[in-house]
Structure formats: C-alpha cells, structure tokens
Amino acid sequence: MPTDPDDVVKQAIEQALAIEDPATRGRTITRVLKAVEDDPRLKDARATDIRELRKNHTLKEVAALVELSIGRVDQIAKGTVTGRRRVKKAAPEAAPE
C-alpha cells in the first residue's frame, strides 16, 4: 500500500480511469470527487493531525509540512474552519403578466 500522499491519490485516480465501461467510469469518478469533497473523515483526520503537529511545531513549520497556508493551519488548529460555502442562486422570479 503506498504511503506517499501523491501516490495514494494517483492510485485512486488510475483505478477510476482504468474502468473500461464509460457509464461505470463516469459514476465512479463522480463518487470519488463527491466523496473527497463531502467526507468529513478527511477533514477530521487532517484537523487531528494538525493539532498533533502543533504540539511540537510552529504554525509556519506545520504549514510547510502539510502544504497549507499559515492562516489555514491556524484556522484548522483552532477549529474555526467551517468549510467552503456554496451560495445557491435564487430561482428567477416569473415576470408579471
């Protein structure tokens, strides 16, 4: 099992791309993209790791280790990250007759 972060991601991508049936490949890619975006386990694990690293490292050091900005590491460590917000566009109102 790969342990290099880039290898783990590449392996998942390659497995999805290797699927021959276009419908199955399309569904798989959609699920992978959605899972990565929506799976709270990934965010929780990253937050736990960052808090653990903060015990022995500066914000700047942790930011370099996890390849995030210092500000983002600080937000995650403090638990103030709420995630990206998607604003839904309001449905256009029907024109008066």
| Per-residue model confidence as pLDDT tens digits over 26-84 | 999 888 888 887 788 888 999 999 999 999 999 999 999 999 999 999 999 999 876 65
User: Rg of the Cα trace of the chain?
Assistant: 19
- pLDDT (0 to 100) of residue 68: 93
> Measured in Å, how far apart are the chain's first and last C-alpha atoms?
64
Dist. CA 15–CA 10, nearest whole Å:
8
pTM of the full predicted structure? 0.63
SS3 annotation, 30-94: HHHHHHHHHCHHHHHHHHHHHHHHHCCCCHHHHHHHHCCCHHHHHHHHHCCCCCCCCCCCCCCCC
